[in-house]
Amino acid sequence: MITKNSQVHHAKGVAVFPTQRPPWIKAVFSICKMDYKVYILRSLKNQRHYTGITNDLERRLIEHNEGSTKSTRANVPYERIWQSESMTRSDALKLEIKIKKRGAARFLKEL
């Protein structure tokens, strides 16, 4: 809410309001940042592996099995055979790349 006493700063003609956030917002953002998982699926059709990341694993598995994902459509159905703990999106991307470089089967053997 803007009052007469609110401090408004102008940057190139655009009003910029102070970015003071309530403490609960920081807690919500920290929870959301740790909500990504890396997962490995195995096709029941031909035993091929698929590695990916998501912030909603159940929804993502349904999408894969419905054929909504172009890269996995030909090999449906899939089963989830491994998933990581929750982590940041950045960490999840790094782990996904690591798994894809060495291969999902090799990664799983080395667990």
pLDDT digits (tens, 9 = 90+) for 67-97: 998 999 999 999 999 999 999 999 999 999 9
Q: Looking at 1-111, list the stretches that DSSP marks H as alpha helix, in order from N- to C-terminal side.
A: 23-33, 57-66, 89-102, 104-109
Q: What's the predicted TM-score (pTM) here?
A: 0.71
- Residue 75 domain-assigned? yes
Domain with 63, as residue range(s), is 38-111
Q: What is the CATH number of the domain that holds 58?
A: 3.40.1440
- Residue 94 domain-assigned? yes
- Share the mean pLDDT of the chain: 83
Helices (runs of H) and strands (runs of E) counted in the chain? 4, 5
